[in-house]
Amino acid sequence: MTSPLDSYTASMDDMRFSDEAKARMVETLKEAEKNARPGTAAEVLTMPARPARRTHRWARVAAGLALALALGGGGTAAVAAGVLPNPADVLSDVFGGAPAQTELLNEVGRPIGASATSNGVTVTAEAVVGDRSNYAVAYSIEFEDPSVLEGVELHEGGTLTYVGDAFLRVDGAMSGGGFARLYDADPTDNTLQFVEVMGVQTWNDAGVVGRTARFSMSKLEIFTDEGEIETLAAGDWSFKFEMNYVDTTVDLPAGQTTTWQGSDVTIDAVSVSSLGVTVDYTIDRQIGDLGPSGQMSDEALAEQAAVLGLPVIVTFADGTTFDATDANGSSTKQDDGTSAVSKATTYDRIVAAGDIVSVTVGDVEIPVSVA
């Protein structure tokens, strides 16, 4: 099976750059793939090049993205739930122009002109990948004054503990949570890299491809090892672009039955992608009154777990696994006394869909076959 890295390398060969420039880019990407653990972003998300004068920066963005998503830990921050578009967004589209177009290069979307500069700092959306219910966007943050980054303490792997308020919302989608990572792919330059990974819900599972994404940020802050918040930049960065990428969702066979804590379970739907897993099932049990939010008793927590806690484990080709049991979940009571449950979450990495071996729901192992 041809890997996305091979496809992107071939695509870059078709672009008009010198052989020397292209060779430097490809070697940088391959080095990132070698250093990242198997199954990480280096195997699926590499950035296409722009004009030759910016080629080296693109290579650093790609390499850094692979490493940041592979590492986890110190560079991660929880992302709050999103909101639906407001009337101001509509007015922005009327008077502020259409969103930047996003061109496709194989599975990756590359926003064109999605960039903003404020107080000597330029934030640019470099690439977007995703599936039916999850997306990942990679940004570069370029400082006109390189001295701003002097003395910044990096964690292992070049990550930083991100604190700022950067946020991306997608029209018609409700964000269900995700994570953000800030890192420095090359400490010798004047650019940081930033990644947002988010799970979303849309009406009738219509997906987010084709919708408008709106980015905003007013400050970029990090949390130092000394326990202090350090501001790297403050300003007003906002832009919008089309969510355009190849949906990597793979729908798996369903209809199997199992049990969970004495209740019968029917697996209604299972899907995986390069970013996450979604499982829908019906269980012969319902959740009663759980009491006030944030004050649930042990009995109420156990009752909730008896409906939402069905184990979900994703196994990858390298032998590692991802536990999706505690994924974001919701349940709907049915008239027949059962509950319809939906659970979805993103992995702690980005993988090629062909590197997912199976999904185990309860005690049912469902193989993943990618054509």
Q: Tell me: the pLDDT tens digits for 166-178?
A: 888 888 887 767 7
The model's pLDDT over 21-80, given as tens digits with 9 standing for 90+, comes to: 434 444 543 444 444 433 333 333 333 333 333 334 444 444 444 444 443 434 444 444
237 and 102 share one domain: yes
Nearest to 79 by CA among 196, 174, 173: 196
Q: Give pTM, 2 decimals.
A: 0.67
276 and 225 share one domain: no
Residue 112: predicted pLDDT: 84
From CA 102, how far away is CA 100, in angstroms rounded? 7
From CA 210, how far away is CA 177, in angstroms rounded? 21
52 and 184 share one domain: yes
Six-digit token string for 4: 């996305």
Residue 38: predicted pLDDT: 35
From CA 91, how far away is CA 350, in angstroms rounded? 36
The model's pLDDT over 226-236, given as tens digits with 9 standing for 90+, comes to: 888 999 999 99
Of the residues 208, 242, 276, which one is the last residue of a structural domain? Answer: 242
- Rounded to a whole number of angstroms, the CA Rg of the chain reads 21
Helix or strand run (H / E) with residue 183: strand 173-183
Of the residues 242, 267, 282, which one is the last residue of a structural domain? Answer: 242
The one-character DSSP state at 133 is S
Per-residue pLDDT of the chain (371 residues; tens, 9 = 90+): 443 333 333 333 343 334 454 344 445 434 444 444 333 333 333 333 333 333 344 444 444 444 444 434 344 444 444 444 444 443 344 434 567 777 766 678 888 889 999 999 999 999 998 888 888 899 999 999 999 998 888 888 788 888 888 888 888 887 767 788 898 988 889 999 999 888 877 776 677 888 889 999 999 999 888 888 999 999 999 999 998 888 888 999 999 999 999 999 999 999 999 888 999 999 999 988 776 766 778 888 888 999 999 999 999 999 999 999 998 888 999 999 999 999 888 888 888 878 999 999 999 999 998 76
The CATH number of whichever domain residue 333 belongs to comes to 2.60.40
44 and 183 share one domain: yes
The model's pLDDT over 309-330, given as tens digits with 9 standing for 90+, comes to: 999 999 999 999 999 999 888 8
Count: domains in the chain:
2
From CA 223, how far away is CA 228, in angstroms rounded? 6
CB-CB contact of 265 with 283 (8 Å): yes
Residue 110's contacts (CB-CB under 8 Å, 6 or more residues apart) are 47, 48, 102, 103, 104, 126, 127
The one-character DSSP state at 52 is G
From CA 87, how far away is CA 267, in angstroms rounded? 40
From CA 46, how far away is CA 152, in angstroms rounded? 26
187 and 305 share one domain: no
Task: Give the chain's largest Cα–Cα span.
Answer: 67
From CA 200, how far away is CA 321, in angstroms rounded? 23
CB-CB contact of 164 with 234 (8 Å): no
Residues spanned by the domain of 35 = 4-242
CA of 305: how far to CAs of 119, 261, 280, 331, in Å? 49, 9, 15, 11
187 and 295 share one domain: no
**CA trace torsion 9, 124, 135, 15 (10° rounding):** -20
224 and 81 share one domain: yes
23 and 100 share one domain: yes
**CA trace torsion 237, 240, 246, 249 (10° rounding):** 80
> Apex CA 316: angle with CA 156 and CA 354, to 5°?
110
238 and 254 share one domain: no
**What is the three-class DSSP state of 27?**
helix
Residue 4: predicted pLDDT: 38
Nearest to 139 by CA among 71, 202, 80, 217: 217
From CA 194, how far away is CA 181, in angstroms rounded? 6
255 and 195 share one domain: no
128 and 171 share one domain: yes
From CA 64, how far away is CA 82, in angstroms rounded? 26
From CA 11, how far away is CA 5, in angstroms rounded? 10
Of the residues 196, 213, 242, which one is the last residue of a structural domain? Answer: 242
CB-CB contact of 269 with 280 (8 Å): yes
318 and 203 share one domain: no
